[in-house]
Amino acid sequence: MIIAGIDIGNATTETAVARFNNQEKPEFLSSGIYDTSGMKGTRQNIHGIFASLKIALDKAHLTVDDIDLIRINEAAPVIGDVAMETITETIITESTMIGHNPSTPGGLGIGVGVTVEIRDVHNVEKGSSIIVIIPREVDFEDSSRIINNTVKNGIFVNGAIVQRDDGVLINNRLDKKIPIVDEVSLIEKVPLNMRAAIEVAAPGSVVEQLSNPYGIATVFDLTSDETKLVVPVSRALIGNRSAVIIKTPAGDVKERKIPAGKIIIQGATKKAEINVDDGAERIMEAIRSVAPVEDIKGEPGTNAGGMLEKVRQVMSNLTEQLPATIKIQDLLAVDTFVPQVVKGGMAEEFSMENAVGIAAMVKADKLQMNMIAEELEKELGIKVEVGGVEANMAVRGALTTPGSNKPLAIIDMGAGSTDAAIINRAGEIKSIHLAGAGNMVTMLIGSELGFEDMGISEDIKKYPLAKVESLFHIRHEDGTVQFFDKPLDPQTFARVVILTPNRMVPIPGNYSLDRIRTVRREAKTKVFVVNAIRSLERVSPTGNVRDIEFVTLVGGSALDFEIPQLVTDALSKYSIVAGRANIRAIEGPRNAVATGLVLAYGVGD
């Protein structure tokens, strides 16, 4: 019997193929690795699964017809995302907005028109498009009657902004349904005779047009430069069921601040609220205080709220589930700095601004993974089953490292998440899955150095640096000098370069080698060292890291030229022996989960 274990990761999909003879210890035949197609845990993964499996089968001189069973990992429900939230508030000019998510908006859809106080509609010209402003003094019966009469008189009433919580009551009495946002307490602040757009989504859904900068640009006929200015507005409205944006003339609204906002953490027995501007350490303390976490939300109308709801919305689109059913089960916050352009500067001057980097991890319905298994089974005509929890499989694979034995803990350092698991002498496994890994390191490097090209940031993360001091020699970051017989590319002269396997890549900007190296190492420490310690705390039988003796590092990030050393050094302070795994004595730290999926066959997950 031939079995293939396939591990779908955030960055790569890995395969292990083995032959079972009379249920004895399996004979491993080959392995394969290919880039994961699509976001981990979605149907798009199937292309990457095929490619990885084919590579492994070609190495073993086998075909798909030779495979009796495929086992895939149970990691599909978990998806990570990252975002930067500046602690200094975002300033928006020449617009005002209402995006407070009232509990009783009325109607549905989007409406555009000029803002008019409802008692002044008799002054509006026939054929005009308007948004009516309804203060507290006008009740729902009068409001609905005035709107119906106005529509009959040939004026297009395309939406309403209401001070009371009368949205549903008004909507029920209208001949022509319109989107209505109510509970706007400071309605006197809403500017009149200004072009406005209002959007209300169906229950369980969120606004789409006004949370998209190009959607706002379409409504207000904005230029590309004006569209840039509304990005913070659209971002803050992500995740809201209703929203209003009003375009005001230059100078009318001096500034409108969107705060970084609060994060609300709901645990199994406790709840905590923390301001993003309190910093990463306080956020992580709050998460530890309520563990285990059931869901994490952001304050509506803020940067944090927009970021966390975007994570939920992305997952919703991929899995066809309602955003409300998707839970964020972990979050990693990291203090950092980001360059911000100085408003009013003469030559694109910028200042370094405090920021918090956030990685969130979403747990969705496990049924999604079963759907992938069913589709694979249909395509290949081979039985496909979902194996055990990813970290549990990684432990089984890690035990094939020469010199390892139970009890053993593993840290699986991937691209989107950091897993940890521990197996005791009796073979019992305890595991945890946490947000934050290689992708977050790339984001922190790019944000702090001001690079929009994530490819450059990824290369800085993966490879060492050097300074080209002449056309014939470079100085490595450890201080050693290397000479060359042939002249180097003139474009690299006097530049800091990334030493990729294929060529030297000059880094844009004027950062020194030491500065870039410091940013890179600090990003890796903030993510991997912090996650290594907090994951081991969660799987330790006593909750104390010091009670763990041996740890092996697995996963793609364990191949990094400095992450294992940083983690090993940090864990040595707890008297823990840690090092990079060597799966089956040939794979290095890769293929642990795929190998574990094969080994777990017939013995339980």
Residue 466 parent element (H or E) = strand 465-470
DSSP-derived secondary structure for 266-312 = EESS-EEEEEGGG-HHHHHHHHHHHPSEEEEEE-TTSHHHHHHHHHH
Instruction: Answer yes or no: is 264 a known binding residue.
Output: no
Q: In Å, what is the CA distance from 389 to each residue of 3, 386, 433, 543?
A: 18, 9, 10, 21
Instruction: Answer yes or no: is 252 a known binding residue.
Output: no
Instruction: Answer yes or no: is 182 a known binding residue.
Output: yes
Per DSSP, the three-state class of 50 is helix
Instruction: Answer yes or no: is 557 a known binding residue.
Output: yes
Q: In Å, what is the CA distance from 335 to each residue of 66, 87, 281, 581?
A: 51, 10, 8, 30
Instruction: Answer yes or no: is 165 a known binding residue.
Output: yes
Instruction: Answer yes or no: is 524 a known binding residue.
Output: no
Q: Show Cβ contacts of residue 467 under 8 Å, excluding neighbours closer than 6 positions.
A: 474, 475, 495, 496, 497, 513
Instruction: Answer yes or no: is 459 a known binding residue.
Output: yes
Q: At what angle do helices 513-524 and 438-449 cross, to 10 degrees?
A: 150
Per DSSP, the three-state class of 157 is strand
Cis before 292 (ω within 30): yes
Report residue 57: phi and psi, to 5°: -65, -40
Instruction: Answer yes or no: is 590 a known binding residue.
Output: yes
Instruction: Answer yes or no: is 11 a known binding residue.
Output: yes
Q: In Å, what is the CA distance from 237 to each residue of 181, 183, 208, 342, 407?
A: 14, 17, 9, 24, 49
* Side chain identity at residue 273, one-letter code: E
Token pair recorded at residue 493: 């002269």
Instruction: Answer yes or no: is 154 a known binding residue.
Output: no
Instruction: Answer yes or no: is 175 a known binding residue.
Output: no
Report residue 98: phi and psi, to 5°: -125, 115
Q: Please give the annotated binding residues, written as ranges.
A: 10-12, 104, 165, 182, 458-461, 556-557, 590
Summarize the annotated binding site for ATP as residue ranges: 10-12, 458-461, 556-557, 590
* Residue ranges at the known binding site for Mg(2+): 104, 165, 182
